[in-house]
Homo-oligomer: A and B are copies of this chain.
Amino acid sequence: MIRFECDYAEGAHPAIMDMLIKTNLEQTPGYGEDHYSDEARTLIRDLCKDDTLAVHFLVGGTQTNFTVISAALRPYEGVLCAETGHINVHETGAVEATGHKVLPLKSCDGKIDSAQIETAVKAQMDDEANEHLVKPGMVYISQPTECGTMYTCEELKAISEVCQRYDIYLFVDGARLGYALASPQNNITLKDMAELTDIFYIGGTKVGLLFGEAVVIRNEELKKNFRYMIKQKGGMLAKGRLLGVQFGELMKDGLYIKISEEAVRLAMQIKKAFLDKGIKFLYDSPTNQQFPILSTEQIGILKREFAFSDIKDMGNGLRAVRFCTSWATREGDVDKLLNEIAAL
């Protein structure tokens, strides 16, 4: 079975594993106060071109999301996001478990826009009984989104501006950020990310690491005592240098982009193969996730050799499914898939 069902089916990029082996028996202080973590922080600040940024390493995405959100919000505040947002649908209510309502906005492709945000914020402000409504305190978006789509720099700027105008934090979930940065359609740099958001993270789990998410904070208010939040929420790894070592290697010499580009290149081949067969897509994705709409028969054929995810019943015997590539996807496996698709 060749697995395209997610982008976390393997371990870590071999260069990462090499560094973990090489540094394995070294003694360092715990909890991220080691020199490897410091060096990785510096690399990230350099890539973002801002040496005042705070950088913290956490273990996983759900953990990062609820740690950031609960660090930012007051008890009566909630977080606006697309109805498809990971925090709204796939985290077992982790944000609500920290006391905050997720405020979903309509979305047909995983994205929301600045106008929707402004409308929602004003509706709450202007309501006579506004104290009876949850106050939006943060906007959460994903880049790329859970649907594989991406924000343009212009869209991100517009969202950033509306957040600033209404004094609301902007938080970007970058669990798959590499696959956006590496997309041919991308026009947002890490520097833009750091400038336009209050806080965002660079995902490692799905882009080359065993695990790990690098949180980057520009907003001074959010920088305060963030390590207390990490500890309380269970994200402070005892052997924190494991995150430093991994991110140090990933961020050095363009490895992050290089492996992401390869994953996107292979995803585009898969996309083209389906399009060539006249197959439609649930979302038009320029990143590593592809959502073709297949017939039961087509699914049956592809399932014999490939694992992929079921997403949604589209009616008429059709279902949307998901194929993911990743830094670990092998060209040969994709070739086999391309042949099967061509033969459908």
Residues of A whose CB lies within 8 Å of any CB of B are 1-3, 6, 8-12, 14, 17, 20-21, 23-31, 59-63, 66-67, 70-71, 74-76, 78, 89-94, 96-102, 128-129, 131-135, 205-206, 210-211, 225, 227-239, 242, 310, 328
Enumerate chain B residues within 8 angstroms of A67, measured Cβ to Cβ.
234
A89-B133, A132-B231 known; 14 new pairs, CB 8 Å cut-off, are A9-B30, A10-B26, A60-B234, A61-B238, A62-B234, A63-B234, A76-B225, A76-B229, A93-B134, A96-B99, A128-B310, A131-B225, A131-B236, A210-B242
- List chain B residues, Cβ under 8 A from A8: 30, 238-239
Integer count of this chain's copies in the complex: 4
Smallest Cβ-Cβ distance to A230: which chain B residue: B131
* A211 B232 Cβ-Cβ under 8 A: no
Q: Report yes or no: B99 in contact with A99, Cβ–Cβ below 8 A.
A: yes
A97 to chain B: which residues have CB within 8 Å?
Answer: 75, 98-100, 232-233
Query: Bound complex: CA of A135 vs CA of B226, how far in Å?
Result: 12
Q: How far is the CA of A239 from the CA of B11 in the complex (A)?
A: 7
A157 to B2, CA, bound (A): 49
- Let me know if B60 and A238 touch, CB within 8 A: yes
In Å, the complex CA distance between A205 and B24 comes to 14
The CA-CA distance from A98 to B100 in the complex, in Å, is: 9
- CB-CB nearest in chain B for A102: B101
Given that A10-B27, A25-B10, A76-B228 are known contacts, is A94 also in contact with B239, CB under 8 Å in the complex?
no
| Bound form: Cα–Cα A280–B90 in Å | 42
User: Which residues does chain B contribute within 8 Å of A1, judged by CB atoms?
Assistant: 27
- Contact residues in B for A89 (Cβ distance below 8 Å): 133
Shortest beta-carbon distance from A232 to chain B in Å: 4
In the bound complex, CA of A129 to CA of B33 (Å): 11
Please name the 7 residue pairs, one residue from A and one from B, whose CB atoms are nearest each other, closest first: A63-B234, A11-B24, A76-B228, A92-B232, A93-B101, A9-B27, A93-B134
> Considering the chains assembled together, what is the distance between the CA atoms of A261 and B276 in angstroms?
63
Residue of B nearest to A10 (CB): B25
Say whether, besides A74-B225, A92-B131, A93-B232, A28 and B14 are in contact (CB < 8 Å): no
Cβ-defined partner of A231 (8 Å) among B74, B91, B210, B228: B91
- Which residues of B have CB within 8 Å of A2? 27
Say yes or no: A96 contacts B100, CB within 8 Å. yes
Sample 5 A-B pairs with CB under 8 A, ordered by A number: A8-B239, A9-B27, A11-B239, A74-B225, A131-B227
CB of A58, distance to nearest CB on chain B (Å) = 9
Task: Select from chain B the residue with minimum beta-carbon distance to A333.
Answer: B27
Report how far A9 CA is from B24 CA in the complex, Å.
10
Residues of B within 8 A of A17 (CB): 20-21, 24
Residues of B within 8 A of A91 (CB): 132, 231-232
* Cβ B6 vs Cβ A30 within 8 A: yes
A28 to chain B, nearest CB (A): 6
- Beta-carbon contact of B24 and A94 below 8 Å: no
Which residues of the partner chain B approach A29 to less than 8 Å between Cβ atoms?
Answer: 9
Q: Which of A28, A61, A75, A129 has the most CB of B within 10 A?
A: A75
Nearest B residue to A309 via CB reads B128
